[in-house]
Amino acid sequence: MRNMKKKKSKLTCLLVGIFLINCLFTSVYIFPSKFQNNNIISNLGEDYVEKVNDYLKLAQISGNFSRYNLSVILDEVSSSVEGNLTVNFYNDDDVNYTRIPFHIYLSGMEYDTRPGIIEIVNVTDLYNPNIAIPFEVHSNQQIMWVNLTANLEPQKRAEFLIKFNATIPDGGIDRANSHGSNATQSRIFKFASFYPIPCVYDNKDGWNTDPYLTTGDPFYFDMAYYNFFVEAPNGMKIAATGGLEEKLENSVSTQYHFNPIYPVREVTFSASRYFQVQSKISNGVNVSTYFLPKDAYLWNNYALNHAEYALILFNNTFGAYPYPTLNVVEEYTDYGGMEYPNQVYISEAIDSWGYPLDVDRRLLEKIIAHEVCHQWWYNLVGNDEIDVGFLDEGLTCWSTDYYGEYYYGDWEYFQFTTYIDEVRVYYNLNGFSSKINQTVYECIATDTDFYYVAYKKAPLIFEKLRLTLGLTDFLEGLKLYFERHQFELVLLSDIQLAFEDVVGQSLDWFFFPWFDNFFLPKYSITRNNYSSESQNLTITIVDLNEPWNDYEYSQQVPLHVYDTSNSLIFNQIVWINGTTELSFTISKQPHRVSLIYSNYVLVQLADEFDLTLDSIVPTDDPVIPGYEMSFFLLISLIFISFVIIAHRRKIKKSI
Ligand SMILES: [Zn+2]
């Protein structure tokens, strides 16, 4: 995620929105009753090594994976590590490789005074360090190519050793940084994307060598086994991807060995002398939180419970989290949080956004649920974050709202402005189209707000699908999708297929228009006609935006019919499939037909509160245009009276 990245105007709207919403909530923050007794928290403090042995053992993971040993030594003064990456690269594609590219992202990140950088010292043969393997660094692209000494054929492995030094950005609020001060007990070293990470080869793009991008989370990695060794000065607390296998302490430093046991897409670690640590074992997983003393009032017990609730719900709903550890770690950023395998980061800035405490608490819970959910949608089931970044992000947002629904009874619980209200007036407010299925580059080229489509519109479309299929089938679809694709990389068509297999029919009619059209439907009732003789009401509904879209929309919309006294005389939920002709038998003369845009009917609106589309039904009785029948009758009566009176006068006169 890069949740909550705000522009100032949006911030003002959000503040006002949250204030208004907050006014509606009179109750104080209370944990859901089903978990009130589940409160076993250990403050592990200095000696927080805890080996978990009862984590889930998966019977068999299909597929071969690359294997990496990464070992780094942290230098606290220079915010850098000296690193060794042992590569055992598995070629799982049907092509021969002559060279392999690695991302070296750090220099693309934001900084205050000193940029981040990954310097490659050398690449050598794994067994003979005197044999150098040639490599090229393209620093503007943050890419390093290792030129193999022999062709790497499919299903074969290449081995070598990369020595590197990585310095994280000084300050800044990006994905890796050293930030805070010792004086205020707030210094944190956050090492993410800090070592050479192999690029992904796929049939569509070949090698995906995209540089670090500031739009979305520009990551795309294959699963791999990691052994991760971190050596750090004594007195620091280390949070890292993987279970702690071993801890060896000498007089000045401590070496930690972390092992995620199962494949992960990358590893990360964070170090601080000031972390407060809380842990509990839940579902066989050591769930831990790491936070600064300044935020203990917000994090203490709450954060750990939120992480556990998320783990329990997503385990039960999508499929089991197989790793031995799950860490939630405080970080410095201006967005809400960021996901990495087995370890997620949550911004320390929540308390500076100026909301009341109960809103801060809710935001913390929302961001923890969101980032934890990325363990399923990003790490276990992965996708190209540049080509289909909306997929895991949209699904994660939907799932976070499902957490709100499950624990608080409201799918919109965490939506301070509801997606539906935002999406329906988006075009009117911004004048931009909002196609979801676009790469990050296409979004930039078409002036589409990636944040809006991935975090707002995509989860709304998943919710529309849930409402269309029903919760049971929808969740079955997600389960099937997870079961089929964990440890793999997916495309949008994979999730569509999982839902199709559950419901037993093609869902092209749903996926193509809602994910690929630039505009929402905008209905107009172009004709309605009632025959009192046949008692038949016929209506024609047209989607005015259809000419600008590639696919015709289909959705269910409530239709109401009223008589002249405004009484509802007929209602039905109708399917509108592109231009639609409808016909109903109604015994009473109808006066007005209305399409009702409630229940997640998705249309382009000019005004979010204007949720009906009305059309007056002409009658088939004789009508003087512009006059009501009663008025016409009154005029006729006056005219007839006048004629009669005049005639009588004439008779009297003649008498
Ligand atoms: Zn996210």
Confidence of residue 30 (pLDDT cuts 50, 70, 90): very low
Say yes or no to pLDDT of 16 above 70: no
527 alpha carbon – ligand 1 mean position (Å) = 45
Find out whether 188 and 330 touch, Cβ atoms under 8 Å: yes
Say yes or no to pLDDT of 182 above 80: yes
Please work out, in degrees rounded to the nearest 5, the angle formed at the alpha carbon of residue 317 by the alpha carbons of 311 and 321. Answer: 45
289 alpha carbon – ligand 1 mean position (Å) = 19
- In tens, the pLDDT along 498-528 reads 999 999 999 999 999 999 999 999 999 999 9
Lowest-pLDDT range, 140-149, 254-263, 614-623?
A: 614-623
Q: In 3-state terms, the chain is what percent helix, strand and coil (to 5)?
A: 30, 30, 40
367 alpha carbon – ligand 1 mean position (Å) = 9
pLDDT given for residue 334 in this prediction: 86
Average pLDDT value for residue range 356-382 = 97
Contacts of 494 (CB under 8 A, 6+ apart): 481, 484, 485
568 alpha carbon – ligand 1 mean position (Å) = 45
Average pLDDT value for residue range 424-430 = 92
- In tens, the pLDDT along 555-589 reads 999 999 999 999 999 999 999 999 999 999 999 99
Average pLDDT value for residue range 33-43 = 39
Contacts of 310 (CB under 8 A, 6+ apart): 368, 369, 372, 373, 403
pLDDT given for residue 610 in this prediction: 92
- In tens, the pLDDT along 467-508 reads 999 999 999 999 999 999 999 999 999 999 999 999 999 999
Say yes or no to pLDDT of 653 above 70: no
Lowest-pLDDT range, 62-71, 83-92, 413-422, 539-548?
A: 62-71
Say yes or no to pLDDT of 45 above 50: no
193 alpha carbon – ligand 1 mean position (Å) = 16
Find out whether 486 and 381 touch, Cβ atoms under 8 Å: yes
Q: What does residue 305 show for φ and ψ, rounded to 5 degrees? A: -65, -40
313 alpha carbon – ligand 1 mean position (Å) = 17
Say yes or no to pLDDT of 14 above 50: no
Q: How far apart are CA 478 and CA 467, in angstroms?
A: 14
244 alpha carbon – ligand 1 mean position (Å) = 26
pLDDT given for residue 8 in this prediction: 36
Say yes or no to pLDDT of 545 above 90: yes
Q: How far apart are CA 460 and CA 394, in angstroms?
A: 8
pLDDT given for residue 119 in this prediction: 98
Say yes or no to pLDDT of 652 above 60: no
Average pLDDT value for residue range 76-83 = 97
Average pLDDT value for residue range 165-186 = 94
What is the Cβ-side half-sphere exposure of residue 171, based on CA atoms within 13 angstroms?
5
512 alpha carbon – ligand 1 mean position (Å) = 24
pLDDT given for residue 218 in this prediction: 84
Average pLDDT value for residue range 336-352 = 95
Query: Which residue in 404, 342, 417 sits closest to 367, CA to CA?
Result: 404
431 alpha carbon – ligand 1 mean position (Å) = 26
Tokens of 417: 């402005």
pLDDT given for residue 422 in this prediction: 95
Confidence of residue 626 (pLDDT cuts 50, 70, 90): very low
Find out whether 106 and 194 touch, Cβ atoms under 8 Å: yes
pLDDT given for residue 82 in this prediction: 98
Q: How far apart are CA 370 and CA 311, in angstroms?
A: 11
Lowest-pLDDT range, 171-185, 544-558, 566-580, 638-652?
A: 638-652
Say yes or no to pLDDT of 19 above 80: no
Q: How far apart are CA 237 and CA 227, in angstroms?
A: 19
Find out whether 572 and 594 touch, Cβ atoms under 8 Å: no
Confidence of residue 5 (pLDDT cuts 50, 70, 90): very low
Say yes or no to pLDDT of 390 above 90: yes
Q: Name the one residue in this structure whose structure tokens are 């696919």.
A: 551
Q: What is residue 629's DSSP assignment?
A: H
pLDDT given for residue 433 in this prediction: 85
24 alpha carbon – ligand 1 mean position (Å) = 27
Say yes or no to pLDDT of 161 above 90: yes
- In tens, the pLDDT along 580-593 reads 999 999 999 999 99
Find out whether 132 and 117 touch, Cβ atoms under 8 Å: no
349 alpha carbon – ligand 1 mean position (Å) = 17
Query: Which residue in 372, 112, 86, 93 sits closest to 208, CA to CA?
Result: 93
pLDDT given for residue 599 in this prediction: 81
pLDDT given for residue 458 in this prediction: 98
The count of other CB atoms within 10 Å of the CB of residue 606 is 11
Lowest-pLDDT range, 277-281, 599-603, 629-633?
A: 629-633
Say yes or no to pLDDT of 28 above 50: no
Q: Ligand 1 being an ion, which residues bring their Cβ within 5 A of it?
A: 1, 396
85 alpha carbon – ligand 1 mean position (Å) = 28
Average pLDDT value for residue range 203-223 = 91
What is the chain's mean pLDDT, rounded? 89
Say yes or no to pLDDT of 55 above 90: no
pLDDT given for residue 99 in this prediction: 97
Average pLDDT value for residue range 145-166 = 97
392 alpha carbon – ligand 1 mean position (Å) = 8
Say yes or no to pLDDT of 259 above 80: yes
Say yes or no to pLDDT of 356 above 70: yes
Average pLDDT value for residue range 182-187 = 95
10 alpha carbon – ligand 1 mean position (Å) = 19
> Does the pTM exceed 0.85?
yes
Intra-chain end-to-end CA distance of the chain, in Å: 100
Q: Which residue has the higher pLDDT, 329 or 173?
A: 329
How buried is 268 (Cβ within 10 angstroms: 0-12 exposed, 13-18 middle, 19+ buried)?
buried
19 alpha carbon – ligand 1 mean position (Å) = 24
Contacts of 523 (CB under 8 A, 6+ apart): 541, 542, 543, 544, 557, 576, 595, 603, 613
| Coil/strand/helix, residue 567 | coil
pLDDT given for residue 51 in this prediction: 58
Query: Which residue in 107, 132, 110, 113 sits closest to 121, CA to CA?
Result: 132
138 alpha carbon – ligand 1 mean position (Å) = 29
Q: How far apart are CA 363 and CA 358, in angstroms?
A: 9
